[in-house]
Structures are given as structure tokens and as C-alpha cells.
Amino acid sequence: MGDQSNSHQLATPPVSPARQRNPGHEPRDDVESLMETSEEQDIQDTGLNDLFKAAVKEELDWEFKLRAERLKDASQKEKLELEFEDRRREFEAQLDAMRAMNGGTNFLIRGAKPESGDQIHIVDLPGSPYVIRIFNGGMQGLHQYLLDFVSRDSLAPFNVPESYAVWRLAEGPGTAKLNRLISWEKAFYYPDASVPQGEVRYSVIEGTAYRAECPAGFVEFIVPVRTEGVQNLFHVEEAVQPRC
């Protein structure tokens, strides 16, 4: 094919900052890389708002530098600076909108496990060392809750064996099983062995009946329905129809 020593070689692009923090993992994008960061202490110290904002700024600065290095004309660099100023303002506006959706103070984080003092619901599993915990998990706007398995004694979360299963029921308690719940982690194809202990979670729908099975037997339950902020909600009372 002849001598190709002088053929054009594409330069290897620099690795973005978020990917540098996770060299052994290949996320689908830098947002996923950010959310999978192992820098837990940084999250606690600066807050997720500041961490997310700083990471996006870092990515924008990295992209600006990469593109600016290819420009020689001053007017082109000035135009590029204006473009990135617009992008930063757009990001700030999106950030404010996301905070406003959660009362204007913080992000709405879906999937978060309960912290000390948070309200939870418990479904007993007689004869099992575990019980079911149902909690908000940032799912209020979807009319859903999150569900996991926790120790009966300490309420610490555990990844239970495959012999534990939760099924959605077709038409309420006592009816046929419709489908088995799949955890968030399994839905995203994470191998079971790679999921840290206690991090498995499931989504369940308000007012829907489910069946939980374990080696000791099974129970059925209905997920609570949130009523906060609902107007003109009346309690359904029982009565006896009189003779007409």
C-alpha cells in the first residue's frame, strides 16, 4: 500500500475533567460520570448544588479552552467567548428552574435513601429478618414511592437474595400477580455483585396493590396515597342503603 509515514494523524483529544476522576469506568456521558463520583466527602461538604454547578463550569471551561486553542483570529475568540457566556447564563437559568420545581431551595433528587428523621412506611414480613421500607425518595411528583428491604432490628438497608420478590397485583389484593418488580439497578444493567450493600431500590405506585414474597411466606399491601396539597378531598364513608 506504499509508505504512509506522512499520512495525516488525528490528535487524541484531551480527557475531560469528569472522566479523569473515574479512569477505570466508562460512563455513557459526563453527567453519569458526575453522578457516579466516589467523592462522597466532597458531596457532603459542598452540597450537591455546588458540586453539580462546579462540575458543569469545569466542563464548559475545558471545552472553551479546547476550542479556543484552535483559533488564531482574535475576533473569532471574542465570538467564542460570547457564545460561552450565553451558555453559562442558559445553564444558570436551567439550574434556577430545577430548584424552583422543588420549592426554590435545592434540587429534587430522585432515588435518595431516607436520612435520619425522614418519614417512612414499614410493611412487615412475618418470619423474616427483613421488612419492607417505603419512602418518598423524591418521587412525589410522579405519584410514586421507593421501596427497599431493611433489617427488622436496625432498619439498615440490605440487598436481599433472589428468594425475595415484590409483584404488582393485577386488580387489587387477592388477585393474580401481574409482573415482578425490577430494581433500578437491574433496569440499568448493573451486575448484582457491583451494587453496594443496601443500595438496591424499587419504584411503587401510590394506591396500588403489591405482593411481597420471601422464604417464610408472603404478604400483600397497598402503597399509601399522598394527600398533601390536594383540595376538596373527601373521606369515603361506609353506610347501609335504606329501603327505598
- Are the CB atoms for 80 and 59 separated by under 8 Å? no
CB atoms within 10 A of CB 112: 16
What does the block give as the cell for 163?
Answer: 428468594
The segment(s) of the chain belonging to CATH 2.60.40 are 120-222
The model's pTM is 0.60
Q: Is the dihedral of CA 70, 73, 78, 82 positive or negative?
A: negative
Give the burial class of 49: count Cβ atoms within 10 A of its Cβ; 0-12 exposed, 13-18 middle, 19 or more buried: middle
pLDDT confidence of residue 193? 83
pLDDT confidence of residue 174? 96
pLDDT confidence of residue 203? 96
pLDDT confidence of residue 31? 46
- Are the CB atoms for 15 and 33 separated by under 8 Å? no
Q: Is the dihedral of CA 115, 120, 125, 126 positive or negative?
A: positive
Q: Which residues pair with 145 in a beta bridge?
A: 204
pLDDT tens for each residue of the chain, 244 residues long: 444 444 334 444 444 444 454 455 555 444 455 444 433 333 333 455 666 677 778 888 888 888 888 888 888 888 999 998 898 888 888 877 766 765 655 666 788 898 888 899 999 999 999 999 999 988 888 899 999 999 999 999 999 999 999 999 999 999 999 999 999 999 988 888 889 999 999 999 999 999 999 999 999 999 999 998 888 999 899 999 999 8
Q: What is the dihedral of CA 21, 26, 28, 31, to 10 degrees?
A: -10
Encode burial over 67-103: b for 16+ CB neighbours within 10 A, e otherwise: eeeeeeeeeebeeeeeeeeeeeeeeeeeeeeeeeeee
Choices 2.40.360, 2.60.40, 3.30.2310, 2.40.10: CATH for 120-222: 2.60.40
pLDDT confidence of residue 146? 95
Q: Give one word for 127, left, alpha or beta, with left for phi > 0 and alpha for psi -120 to 50.
A: left
